[in-house]
Chain A
Amino acid sequence: MDGESPPGKPDNIKCRSPEKETFSCWWEPGSDGGLPTNYSLLYKTEGKNSYSECPDYKTSGPNSCYFDKKHTSIWTMYTIIVNATNELGTTTSDPQFVDVAYIVELRPPLNVTLSIIDDPPHLLVKWSPPSKADVKSGWVTVEYEVRFKSKKAQEWETLDAGKQRQLRVFSLNPSENYIVQVRCKSDHGFWSMWSPESYIQIPDNFPRKD
């Protein structure tokens, strides 16, 4: 049959956990060989010899697998492979080794609010922890970063807020419009996306930035 072949190798398997309790993996399909192609994700955990199949192909969207709490163990090495199968054969991805402890990527912080404080003149940035992450119990410890820039500027200025949920910014130019964003990460994970842009106009009577 012209132009038809076994499927290409799936690759770029990427896994992330939003709160160190569940996790998802995504993959990029290879070529389909000109034929209808099915994908299956198989995994085995440390100490187990046999593979199990992905428990949920839907929750995390196309070409994905979602592991709920029941299927998620921390500090355990998962060996993950993806098979692509069509009429002419099956092709298997390279194995991906994952420990959920090291793939935590939180959602962005929530409810970013900006307020001008008069005495001394400065900008107060406040936010709430990201959704899903259980910060209250201490299961997830979060650190934050704030970045801001004048609309006219090219470069962002970034400040480390540590574990605080607010930050005071003093070095601002009067009468300029500023953009502010906040991001976070669990103590040993990946940085989240930046929060949506928040805007504020700095009053004319603010002391000029030195």
Chain B
Amino acid sequence: PICPNGAVNCQISTSDLFDRAVKLSHYIHSLSSEMFNEFDEQYAQGRGFIMKSIDTCHTSSLNTPEDKEQAQQIHHDDLLNLVLRVLRSWNDPLGHIVTEVQGIREAPDTILWKAVEIEEQTKRLLEGMEKIVGRFHPGDLGNEVYSLWSGPPEKQITDENSRLYAFYHLLHCLRRDSHKIDNYLKLLKCTLMHGSNC
């Protein structure tokens, strides 16, 4: 239940926090997918970007689970912290995406709007996740500054095509990582809140 007005020590239940986190992660991934598809349709057709998109994402060093067994074998504390790390590692790139979109010729407002909305909602999700982790391990937020992203690959951006590819690849990684976060949170919610009986 939402805290009634004027309530003093009212605390949102962990289950409600999880519900909100899952709603947000689902929304963020849907937006990321739409933004990627929109950009792909408008800028990537015939450029062979997908062939190159097997380049690794800046978060690939985070060793995230890649199938159900791995995701279920990892302890939920570790999975929660992994979600936090992935979220934090997108802080700078999301800012770059918002800036970069405005420099792309004839980029539709809908892509810019989604980029701004994703950046905003990801911050909210990160705050929510920090609350959730705080419930399980008060005082252990591991607030280390996380910057796996070394900024846009300046050296590789020599022309319009390479610049568009760098942006395409970032959107590809955002779609992928937002899907991972969404999936892990749904798994965690079922495990922790419903005893794996969703």
Contacts and interface: CB of A to CB of B under 8 A. Distances in A.
B87 interface: no
Nearest to A21: B68
Contact of A188 (B29, B66, B187): B29
A102 B96 CA distance: 26
Contacts of A139: 68, 71-72, 183, 186-187
A95 B48 CA distance: 11
B157 to A, nearest CB: 22
A77 B53 contact: yes
Given A77-B53, A77-B54, A137 B29 contact: no
Interface stretch (B4-12, B131-139, B148-156, B174-182): B174-182
Contacts of B180: 75
A74 B183 CA distance: 11
A109 B91 CA distance: 39
A69 interface: yes
A72 B70 CA distance: 12
Given A141-B186, A188-B33, A76 B191 contact: no
A79 B54 CA distance: 9
A141 B26 CA distance: 10
A134 B51 contact: no
A69 B179 contact: no
A46 B179 contact: no
Interface in A40-69: 46-47, 69
B67 interface: yes
A138 interface: yes
Interface in B91-150: none
B173 to A, nearest CB: 10
Given A46-B54, A188-B30, A138 B198 contact: yes
Contact of B68 (A79, A97, A99, A134): A134
Given A47-B54, A138-B194, A187-B186, 14 more contacts: A47-B56, A74-B66, A74-B67, A79-B51, A79-B54, A95-B51, A97-B53, A136-B196, A136-B197, A137-B72, A137-B187, A139-B68, A188-B29, A188-B182
Per CB-CB distance, the 7 closest pairs between chain A and chain B, nearest first, are A138-B190, A73-B66, A138-B186, A138-B187, A46-B54, A77-B54, A139-B68
